[in-house]
Amino acid sequence: MDYHHCCSLILGLTSFLLISFSTADDAAIMAKLSTSISPTPSTWYGNNFCEWKGIACDSFGFVVTINLSHMSLNGTLPSDLHSLRNLRTLALQGNSLSGPLPTLSNLAFLEQVMLDGNNFTSIPSDLFYGLTILQIFSISDNSHLSPWSLPNDLINSTNLRTFQANQANIYGTIPDIFGSLLYLQNLSLSYNNLTGSLPASFGGSQIINLRLDNQLQGLSGTLDVLSSMTQLSQVWLKGNAFTGAIPDLSECTELSDLQLGDNQLTGLVTDSIMSLPKLAYINLQNNKLQGPVPVFGSVTLDINLQNNSFCLDKPGKCDAQVTALLEVAGALGYPMSMAESWLGDDACDGRWDFVVCNSNNSVTSVNFAKQNFSGTISPAFGNLTSLRMLSLNDNNLTGSIPEVLTSLPDLQLLDVSNNNLSGPVPVFPTRVKFSSDNNNLLSGKPIPNHKINPSRVEFSAGLVIGIVISGVIFVIVVVMFVSNKCYRVNPSKLQSKISVDHSEIPSSKSGNLMISVQVLQQVTDNFSDEKVLGRGGFGVVYKGEFDDGTKIAVKRMKTGMKETKGMNEFEVEIAVLTKVRHRHLVALLGYCANDNERLLVYEYMPQGTLSQHLFKWREQKSLPLSWKQRVSIALDVGRGVEYLHSLAQQSFIHRDLKPANILLGDDMRAKVADFGLVKNAPDGKYSIETRLAGTFGYMAPEYSAAGRVTTKVDVYSFGVVLMQLITGRKALDETMPYESCQLAAWFRRVPVTKENMVKYVDKALDTNDNETLESIFKVAELAKHCTTREPFHRPDMGYVVNILRPLFEQWKPLRQEQENTYYRRHMSLSQALQADDNTSSTIDVFQPNSF
Ligand SMILES: *[C@@H]1O[C@H](CO)[C@@H](O)[C@H](O)[C@H]1NC(C)=O
Ligand SMILES: *[C@@H]1O[C@H](CO)[C@@H](O)[C@H](O)[C@H]1NC(C)=O
Ligand SMILES: *[C@@H]1O[C@H](CO)[C@@H](O)[C@H](O)[C@H]1NC(C)=O
Ligand SMILES: *[C@@H]1O[C@H](CO)[C@@H](O)[C@H](O)[C@H]1NC(C)=O
Ligand SMILES: *[C@@H]1O[C@H](CO)[C@@H](O)[C@H](O)[C@H]1NC(C)=O
Ligand SMILES: *[C@@H]1O[C@H](CO)[C@@H](O)[C@H](O)[C@H]1NC(C)=O
Ligand SMILES: *[C@@H]1O[C@H](CO)[C@@H](O)[C@H](O)[C@H]1NC(C)=O
Ligand SMILES: *[C@@H]1O[C@H](CO)[C@@H](O)[C@H](O)[C@H]1NC(C)=O
Ligand SMILES: *[C@@H]1O[C@H](CO)[C@@H](O)[C@H](O)[C@H]1NC(C)=O
Ligand SMILES: *[C@@H]1O[C@H](CO)[C@@H](O)[C@H](O)[C@H]1NC(C)=O
Ligand SMILES: *[C@@H]1O[C@H](CO)[C@@H](O)[C@H](O)[C@H]1NC(C)=O
Ligand SMILES: *[C@@H]1O[C@H](CO)[C@@H](O)[C@H](O)[C@H]1NC(C)=O
């Protein structure tokens, strides 16, 4: 025997042994199967299982087919079924088989598995492992399966054509494996508990029939991937939680059946859907689709569009303002918040969130601040020609600022700060207050032509907000500046120019306190980062400390800004500032500027802002304010504002009262800061404000809608501050549902009685004693009174102070010492400043005096 011969013999023997071993194996499993199912089919007896009904074997006697479909069988399957190594078809659908489904792993020849309509109880985790030529797998209608998720192992079943598992208790996400399943045409997973988004790999797949409808919790995310699934014929996605707009489906020319009902879809139904040539069934009901009612071009058999947010109830164009606003929404990806409140064809019917109109039903204000919107700024804003205020700040907007915004004739405020905008900054007319801070990609930093909206200026711990004179200071710098020196402004000269009553003007008595830039550099450690108290749109505020421990707040303006406003206005501002001296108004101590530096000096308020104490006390590891402290703060603020309003002959309106502009000393007594928006008020009459400014959430309705400004706008804002002291809530809280996100509107709606007060009161407050509750109740009533819709129904600040004073009186003894503290601080500051008298740059420090 030669070597070769020998080898063949051994091989032959081996394969014979292997075969006989394996067929014996098949026989054992078939015997088990015959006893585990019932009733056992009548032909299933004897050893020759290849002859049994429903069984087919190959020429070696291995089982290749088990077809027991629709035979009313009950019972279970043997656990070692996967030892039938040559099995190609397993068809068990339409029975009542129960128990665990045995694994089919490593059945390398398995092509078809049909298990629908049984009562299996569980799926093995390695079910699909190594099933490389599997083409059909279906296990629909096995509703008692214990929850299972789609295994990643399917990625190797690259021959899969059909995968059906409707109502099979699947949970979890759809794995992103479809890039490998290039032959998959039918994917049907309806009535399960799938979550997550449509996988991106759907994009390159050949799926024709896609059924993922009626998930328990719902698939979510957008439908965008559908636009690249160009083979699609049937798309059933209803009963999920999909959001965003229906994507452009113009490439999906085979689409005939589109079921998208019962989702959260928003946006317009575009022509790309309406003109699909083969569309026969379309269901879009119960979404939030917007714009005109769609009209379908093809011969459509079944249309369901009910219950959406279309502008009209029949086909037709939407109103021009509505059209423009929808385009605006589109650039933001049609956020749900708009789709839910922007109903009907009248943007000015009062229901539309974010939008304020004037009495002519023209949109005057759009406020998207802090909504976490992504997307771009639509040029369609340019079609809202009455727009005065546009707040887009604190979002995630990209793209450029449309040039068309510069031609809006009434625009006064445009805030795009804190976004991710890019491109050039258009040049706005000087009337427009424009802020674009914190957009790293904008090229060519803008030239602010007015004070930044101080509402954006938030500071950290202990400081004085320094926007008292704010940007306008630069005019004096430009005009009066010579060499490296700062010249003192004589306030009385300025005041004479604007003809105010001189007897009312506190003149700077000892007056000429001077301080050099160098000294300010020194006390702030050369403006070191460690000394930063806060950052705002116009610059950085530093804490300065003299050797003797005296502290000041130094605001260092950003350089490179140009001031384009007139001199006159600057003079008015200085005059106002020198007039408003009061123990509850923060004082500007002076300023200084040279070529490179513009510095403002304020008294230092060690406890920072009221908003920190109301909203951030946990993070700052401080105690929440007690009710006593809150009443005392309210009274202090009330007194400060009363003073502003009631100066003889002339009264001033703060216009931006809010917790961020209320500063606290160590004694927790309050001062109003930030007079950057202070306005001269014509007594009793409305003044139509040309430059709207302030902060949403605190603005009186007549002011935000029509720009009418009287002292009553401060009373309104003060009422909102009272509500905040009571509830500890933000004026605009995006985390709250829409009906309660605006504090003032919500608070005015809730019925306030002593009994139900407790529910609304800040949880940080101790409300156990009756006295406190009584006091809170009175302040709540006052807050409602102050925020009455009609300005003339609101009380004046004198009345407010009279209500608050007795509530505070209980704690009067506290007050005496606190007033002393106040003056001591000022003395040492003045001395410190005086010590620097002989330096080159000068600063005008106004004497604090006692109003
Ligand atoms: C299973 O058998 C039924 C009839 O008994 C037949 O109609 C069906 O086509 C078979 N299925 C497969 C996959 O062979
Ligand atoms: C299976 O069916 C037989 C009759 O066909 C019945 O006697 C038996 O109780 C059933 N078994 C189960 C577990 O339902
Ligand atoms: C399926 O099995 C469950 C228990 O797992 C049982 O309650 C139910 O009656 C069964 N359904 C059918 C149709 O046999
Ligand atoms: C797919 O097959 C490859 C090679 O055949 C193997 O390495 C991999 O583990 C398999 N992956 C899964 C998820 O089964
Ligand atoms: C996909 O499903 C349809 C209808 O259920 C069927 O007619 C078609 O043959 C299936 N295609 C494949 C590749 O299994
Ligand atoms: C659906 O799936 C989620 C998680 O994906 C799970 O929390 C929830 O309990 C499931 N619901 C049911 C009824 O199984
Ligand atoms: C429309 O939607 C509302 C709220 O989602 C629902 O209560 C109502 O049943 C829906 N109407 C129809 C006709 O589906
Ligand atoms: C904006 O106005 C222009 C010119 O009046 C018009 O062509 C365009 O369609 C309008 N766009 C929107 C979104 O209303
Ligand atoms: C309303 O329209 C009239 C006429 O067009 C105009 O004179 C008036 O100024 C408008 N009022 C407002 C508040 O825009
Ligand atoms: C803002 O939106 C992003 C996605 O666009 C989301 O991940 C994030 O949680 C959102 N943040 C807030 C505060 O809603
Ligand atoms: C901002 O938008 C970009 C792109 O639109 C997105 O990738 C990013 O996650 C968003 N960031 C936040 C915080 O929402
Ligand atoms: C702004 O865009 C850049 C680049 O597109 C990105 O890296 C950055 O995360 C974005 N910032 C925010 C806050 O989304």
Q: How far apart are CA 677 and CA 714, in angstroms?
A: 12
Residues 6 or more apart whose CB falls under 8 angstroms from that of 682 comprise: none
**Residue 187 reports pLDDT greater than 90:** yes
Torsion sign (Cα): 244, 250, 252, 258: positive
Inform me whether the pLDDT recorded for 239 exceeds 50.
yes
Q: What pLDDT digit, counting tens, does each position of 605-635 carry? A: 888 889 889 988 888 888 889 999 999 999 9
**Closest C-alpha to ligand 11, atom 1:** 396
Of 96-105, 666-675, 768-777, which has the strongest mean pLDDT? 96-105
pLDDT tens profile 785-829: 999 988 888 998 988 998 898 888 876 554 443 433 333 333 333
Q: What's phi and psi for 477, nearest 5 deg? A: -65, -50
Q: What is the pLDDT of residues 77-99, one digit of tens each?
A: 999 999 998 999 999 999 999 99
Q: Choose among 460, 474, 596, 598: nearest CA to 529.
A: 460
Ligand 8 contact, 319 CB (< 6 A) = no
For range 382-406, the mean pLDDT: 93
> What pLDDT shows up at residue 820?
34
Residue whose CA is at the smallest distance from ligand 12 atom 6: 420
Q: Is 180's C-beta closer than 6 angstroms to any atom of ligand 4?
A: no
Summary count for the chain: helices (H), strands (E): 18, 44
Rounded CA gap, 794 and 22, in Å?
95
Q: Report pLDDT for 81.
A: 92
Least confident of 310-314, 396-400, 496-500, 746-750: 496-500
Indicate if ligand 7 lies below 6 Å from the C-beta of 286: yes
Expressed in angstroms, the distance from the first to the final Cα of the chain is 125
Distance (Å, rounded) from C-alpha 119 to C-alpha 127?
17
pLDDT at 515: 64
Distance CA 743, CA 724 (A): 8
Q: Are 142 and 167 in contact (CB under 8 A)?
A: yes
- Ligand 7 centroid to Cα of residue 262, in Å, is 9
Instruction: Please tell me if the CB atom of residue 307 comes closer than 6 angstroms to any atom of ligand 7.
Output: yes
- Taking CA atoms only, the protein residue closest to ligand 7 atom 12 is 307
35 Cβ contact partners less than 8 Å away, ≥ 6 residues apart: none
Residue nearest to atom 4 of ligand 8 (CA): 383
- The C-alpha atoms of residue 442 and residue 451 are separated, in whole angstroms, by 20
Q: Which two tokens stand for residue 273?
A: 């859907």
**Whole-angstrom Cα distance, residue 183 to residue 157?**
10
Q: Are strands 112-114 and 136-138 parallel, antiparallel or unpaired?
A: parallel
Tell me the pLDDT of the chain averaged across its residues.
79
Residue indicated by tokens 């005392």 = 632
Cβ neighbours of 596 (radius 10 Å): 9
**Ligand 9 centre from 360 Cα, in Å?**
6
pTM, two decimal places: 0.60
In this prediction, residues 689-699 reach a mean pLDDT of 71
Q: Is the pLDDT of residue 222 over 60?
A: yes
The predicted pLDDT at position 269 comes to 94
**CA proximity to 622, closest of 635, 636, 631, 611:** 611
Give 66 Cα–ligand 1 centroid separation in angstroms.
9
Residue minimizing CA distance to atom 1 of ligand 6: 193
Provide DSSP, 555-601. Answer: EEEPSS----S-HHHHHHHHHHHHH---TTBPPEEEEEE-SS-EEEE
User: How many angstroms separate the CA atoms of 202 and 743, rounded?
Assistant: 45
State yes or no: pLDDT of 567 exceeds 70: no
Buried (b) or exposed (e) across 70-102, using 16+ Cβ within 10 A? Answer: ebebebbbbbebbbbebbbbbbbbbbebbbebb
For residues 262 and 237, give the distance between their C-alpha atoms in angstroms, rounded to a whole number. 9
Tokens standing for 77? 């399957």
Residue 190: C-alpha distances to residues 218, 238, 308 (Å): 11, 10, 24
Query: 336 — alpha (psi -120 to 50), left (phi > 0) or beta?
Result: alpha
Are the CB atoms for 6 and 58 separated by under 8 Å? no
Choice from 398, 400, 417, 420 to test ligand 12 binding pocket (greatest atom count within 8 A of CB): 420
| Residue 695 pLDDT | 75
Look at residue 566 and tell me whether its pLDDT is greater than 80.
Answer: no
- pLDDT (0 to 100) of residue 649: 58
Mean pLDDT of 39-50: 86
Residue 745 binned pLDDT confidence (cut-offs 50, 70, 90): confident
Neighbours of 505 (CB within 10 A): 17
Of residues 654 and 497, more confidence is placed in: 654
Q: In the predicted model, is pLDDT for residue 265 greater than 90?
A: yes
Q: Could you tell me the distance, in angstroms and rounded to a whole number, from the CA of residue 697 to the centre of ligand 11? A: 26
Q: Which helix (H) or strand (E) holds 821?
A: helix 813-834
Predicted pLDDT of residue 632: 93
Spatial separation of the C-alpha atoms in residues 169 and 189, rounded to whole Å: 10
Using pLDDT thresholds of 50, 70 and 90, give the confidence band for residue 580.
low
- Report the C-alpha dihedral over residues 336, 338, 342, 345, rounded to 10 degrees: -100
Q: Mean of the pLDDT values across residues 152-174?
A: 95
Pocket flag, ligand 3, residue 119 (CB < 6 Å):
yes
> 714: Cβ–Cβ under 8 A, 6 or more apart, which residues?
641, 644, 645, 653, 654, 655, 657, 797
Other C-beta atoms closer than 10 Å to the C-beta of 346 total 15
pLDDT at 834 over 90: no
Number of the ligand 6 atom closest to the C-alpha atom of 169: 14
| b/e sequence 46-60, b meaning 16+ C-beta within 10 Å | eeebbebeebebeee
- List the single range of 257-266, 541-550, 678-687 with lowest mean pLDDT: 678-687
Residue 667 has, within 13 A of its CA and on its CB side, a CA count of 19
Q: State residue 692's pLDDT score.
A: 62
The answer to whether 114 and 87 are in contact (CB under 8 A) is no
Residue 498's pLDDT is 26
The predicted model gives 268-279 an average pLDDT of 91
Q: Hey, which of 348, 357, 358, 360 would you mutate to test ligand 9's pocket, going by the most ligand atoms within 8 Å of its Cβ? A: 360
Closest CA to 820 of 669, 626, 611: 669
E-strand stretches of 76-153:
89-91, 96-100, 112-114, 119-122, 136-138
- Per-residue pLDDT, 736: 76
pLDDT band at 752 (very low <50, low <70, confident <90, very high): confident
- Is residue 546 scored above 60 in pLDDT? yes
Q: In the numeric block, which tokens belong to residue 832?
A: 């410190």
> Between helices 770-786 and 627-645, what is the axis angle to 10°?
30
CA of 194 to the centre of ligand 6 (A): 8
User: What mean pLDDT comes out for the span 136-149?
Assistant: 95
- Residue position matching structure tokens 């401080």: 622
Mean pLDDT, rounded, for 262-280: 92
**What is the spatial distance between Cα 444 and Cα 442, in angstroms, rounded to a whole number?**
6
352 contacts: CB under 8 Å, gap ≥ 6? 325, 341, 342, 343
Proximal ligand: closest to the CA of 136: 5
Q: Report which secondary-structure segment, H or E, holds 718.
A: helix 712-727
Q: Does 89 sit in the ligand 4 pocket, CB within 6 Å?
A: no
Ligand 9 proximity of 770 Cβ (cutoff 6 Å): no
What is the Å distance from ligand 10's center to 371 Cα?
Answer: 9
Report which protein residue has its CA nearest ligand 4's atom 6.
156
Average pLDDT (652-674) is 87
Tell me the best of 195, 216, 240 to mutate to test the pocket of ligand 6, counting ligand atoms within 8 Å of each CB and taking the most: 216
**Ligand 2 atom nearest to CA at 75:** 13
Q: At what angle do helices 627-645 and 797-809 cross, to 10 degrees?
A: 150
Dist CA 790 CA 447 (whole Å): 38
- Residue of 637, 633, 632 lying closest to 808 (CA atoms): 632
- pLDDT at position 697, please? 83
Q: What is the pLDDT of residue 594?
A: 62
Q: How far away, in angstroms, is 359 Cα from ligand 9 center?
A: 8
Query: What is the C-alpha to C-alpha distance for residues 101 and 115, in angstroms, rounded to an integer?
Result: 9
Please give the positions annotated as active site: 656
Q: Which residues line ligand 10 (CB under 6 A)?
A: 372, 374
Residue 233 pLDDT: 96
pLDDT at 231 over 90: yes
Alpha-carbon distance of 234 to 209, in angstroms, equals 5
User: 60 or 670: whose pLDDT is higher?
Assistant: 670
Alpha helix (H) residue ranges in 417-525: 473-480, 491-497, 517-523
pLDDT over 70 at 392, yes or no: yes
Query: Most confidently modeled of 6-20, 62-76, 766-780?
Result: 62-76
What is the model's pLDDT at position 488? 37
**759 assigned to a ligand binding site:** no
Ligand 9 pocket check for 768: Cβ under 6 Å: no
Sign of CA dihedral 432, 436, 441, 446: positive
**pLDDT in the model for residue 579:** 62
Spacing, Cα 701 to ligand 8 middle (Å):
29
Q: Whose structure tokens read 């919500």?
A: 746
Q: Are 154 and 181 in contact (CB under 8 A)?
A: yes
pLDDT by residue (tens digit) across 290-307? 999 998 876 667 889 999
**Radius of gyration for the alpha carbons in the chain, expressed in angstroms and rounded:** 38
**With pLDDT > 90 as the criterion, what percentage of the chain qualifies?**
42
Residue bearing the CA closest to ligand 3, atom 10: 119
